Structure formats: structure tokens, C-alpha cells
Amino acid sequence: MQRRDPYQLCQRLWWHALMLVCWAATTPPACSQNLVPNAGFEGTDSCWQTLGLGALQDWYSAFLTPDHLQSCLPLGSVNGLPLNAFTYQAPFEGNSCVGLFTYVDLSGQEQREWVMVPLLEPMVVGQTYYCSFRSNAGFGGNAQYPTVWLANNNVGMLFTSYDRRWLAGHPYPAALNTAHVMHPEVLTDTVGWTLVSGSFVADSTYQYLMIGNFFSNALTDTLHLGPQGDPWSWFPRGYTLIDAVCVSPNPLGCDLGQQVGDLAGDRPALFPNPAYDQLVLVGRSGARLWVGDAVGRLVWQGRVQGDHWVLQVGAWTRGTYVLHVEQAGRIEVHKFVLAE
């Protein structure tokens, strides 16, 4: 007879007890699991007065040098809160947040800053995940020219199955032109925190989350937050603050605001899949679409005309594509294949 490890037995008893408590609770969100560690950027090894992520736990750069902003620093410190080099803003919650450049166009270089974290557990293929974070357009900091910034759209979340950690000296990654959840409107609120939220069905066992603007400058809209003029031409940049990140398989697990269930249970019909000459989309009249190939390059974009809409794909290269459907401020992501 095989003996059970007492430690494993204790773990199983603890887990069943926790599930019983969650089942009996009258408030389901109390037992909802957030798959994002250090979701409010509070966990750190020190109060670090410098740009960059410093001693922030769990999170790291996937492109250039995002900043860990902390209220433990003296007022006006380069990465302090509420006043720092880029903005004057209190965190959405707690004492910290991160800031990152979400639009840069200097000498033709489309720079970005992406921040990345491993999920607490891999996603399950076919499972719906609910996601949210808070964002704020950086403005009014104490840098030499504090008002010269842009606001931009497309700030969002992108999930991957592999680590994309970026280190100094690595080449700049190309724009991916895709996101699982994003804010399609320009983030213009420099005072309050804007909720970015949505849901999607996992088509892979994603293990990592990235946050930033993953779209090229050509696909990104901007708005001037400060007056034009000298030295305006020096600073075509957008800076965005991020806080309160959440990813959960529970629809009550993250703050989705008024978007909860807007399109839930009404998933569009997309057929045939695999497709040959035509791809048919039913039930998304007026939605904005864009299609990326397997490596994230934009292939096509446009709007759905009618409830039974046909996209001609006969001349496209055979392979795997990703269809993004934007409607009512929410992004749906669907994978399809073009067969020979």
C-alpha cells in the first residue's frame, strides 16, 4: 500500500477548505483569482530614486526602460509621486504605479516601452479571461519642458507564451500590431484614471503578460496635451501611467466597469475556418477590424458593413492569421487559417 506524503495531504485539505469557503461566500469577487503578481506595483526591495524599474518585484522590461514611480520618495524626485519628471498624479491605489513611453517618434525611430510579468499560472486554451488595468495620460511633471507631451491610443495588454525580456544592447523589436485588450480611443484624461478592460478566449497556453502600446506609429492616434512651438519638435512623445492590473478567469474577478458582459454570450460567427477564398463574419455590423499575420504584421484593416459580411482572402498568402474585432470599446481576438 502506497503511503501518502503528509505535506501533500495537508495541502489538499487546505485547498478543499478554501474552495468550500469560496463556494459559501456571498461575495464571489472575494475568492476571485488575479493571475498577475504584484498587480499594483507595490512589491519592491527598496525605495529607489532613479528612472527605470529599480528594485520592483516580478515585473521587468520587454522594451527599453519603463519607470517604477513611488510615493516614498521626496516630492519632485525624478520617479516620485505625485510629482516626478513626467507627470503630477497620485497612484490609482496604494503608493506606486509604473510609467512608460507609449509613443515616441524621434529621428524616425518608433521607440516604445513595454513592461512584462509572468502569470501565476498558464492560461487554459478555450477559457475566457477577463482583464483590466487603470491608465492615466502623463502630463505636468517637473522636467525642463513638462507640458510637451502627446496623448495616444492603443495602450493595452498582450499575452505571450514565451519570455520577451529586453536588456540594454538588444535590438529594438518591431511593432507587433496586435493586442488582446486595449483602449482604442486616445487617453486624454490627465487628472483621473481611465479603466481599460475587456475579455478574450485564450487560444494558447499564455504564460506572460505585457503592457504598453504594441502598434506602429502609423496605426496610433495622438493628441497634443501642450501648446505647439519651440521646443515642440524635440518631444513627440506620449507617456502613460499604469496601475491596478488584473487578469482572471472569473468574470467578477476584475473591474470591468460598464463593459461587463456587453458582448458576452454573443460571440460572432466566423466561418469557414480553415478558409480558402472568403471569410464570413456574422453579427458585428459596424465593428472595426484588422488582421495580422503570424508574426504580427498588419495585413488588412477596415469596417464591417452589415450583419453578414464577407472578407475576400483568396489572394492572401496561405497560413495562420489573427483577426481583431473592435466594438463598443472592447477587443475580441480570433485566430483563423487559410488553407491551400
DSSP of 34-90: P--TTTTS--BSS---SSS-TTBSS-EEEES--EEEETTSPTT-TTBSSB-SSBB--
Q: Which of 323, 289, 281, 325 is nearest to 306 (CA)?
A: 281
Q: Name residues whose C-beta falls within 8 Å of residue 12's C-beta, 6 or more positions apart in sequence.
A: none
What grid cell was written down for 143? 522636467
Q: Cα–Cα distances in Å, from 288 out to 186, 218, 284, 304, 307?
A: 16, 16, 9, 6, 13
What grid cell was written down for 45? 526591495
Sheet of 298-303: strands edge to edge? Answer: 298-303, 288-293, 319-327, 330-338
Instruction: Give 96's strand partners.
Output: 70
Q: Which of 173, 190, 50 is nearest to 116 (CA)?
A: 173
274: preceding bond cis by omega (within 30 degrees): yes
Rounded Cα distance between 180 and 167, Å, is 24
What grid cell was written down for 208? 506572460
Dmax (CA) for the chain in angstroms is: 82
Q: Report all structural domains of the chain as residue ranges with CATH numbers, in order of start.
A: 60-259 (2.60.120), 269-338 (2.60.40.3080)
**Three-state DSSP class for 204?**
coil
The pLDDT tens digits along the chain (340 residues) read 444 454 444 444 444 444 444 444 434 444 468 999 999 999 999 998 999 999 999 999 999 999 999 999 998 899 999 999 999 999 999 999 999 999 988 766 788 999 999 999 999 998 999 999 999 999 888 887 666 678 999 999 999 999 999 999 999 999 999 999 999 889 988 888 999 998 888 999 999 999 999 999 889 998 887 666 555 555 778 999 999 999 999 988 998 874 433 443 445 567 787 788 888 888 888 888 989 887 678 899 999 988 888 999 999 998 888 888 887 767 777 778 888 7
Hunting for cell 529599480 — which residue is that? 54
Rounded Cα distance between 99 and 109, Å, is 20
What's this model's pTM, rounded to 2 decimal places? 0.71
Q: H or E segment at 19? A: helix 6-24
Instruction: Write down the pLDDT at residue 234.
Output: 56
Give the single-character DSSP code of 180: S
* Contact (CB, 8 A) for 89 and 136: yes
Quickly count: other Cβ atoms within 10 Å of residue 274's Cβ: 12
As a residue count, the chain comes to 340
In the chain, the DSSP E strands lie at 60-63, 67-70, 96-104, 114-118, 128-137, 150-152, 155-160, 181-182, 194-201, 208-213, 222-224, 237-248, 269-271, 278-282, 288-293, 298-303, 308-312, 319-327, 330-338
For the four alpha carbons of 75, 45, 255 and 65, in that order, the dihedral sign comes to positive
Which parts of 214-306 fold into alpha helices (H)?
none
**Burial class of residue 249, CB neighbours in 10 A (0-12, 13-18, 19+):** middle
Task: List the end-to-end C-alpha distance of the chain, in Å, as a whole number.
Answer: 56
Instruction: Write down the pLDDT at residue 12.
Output: 46
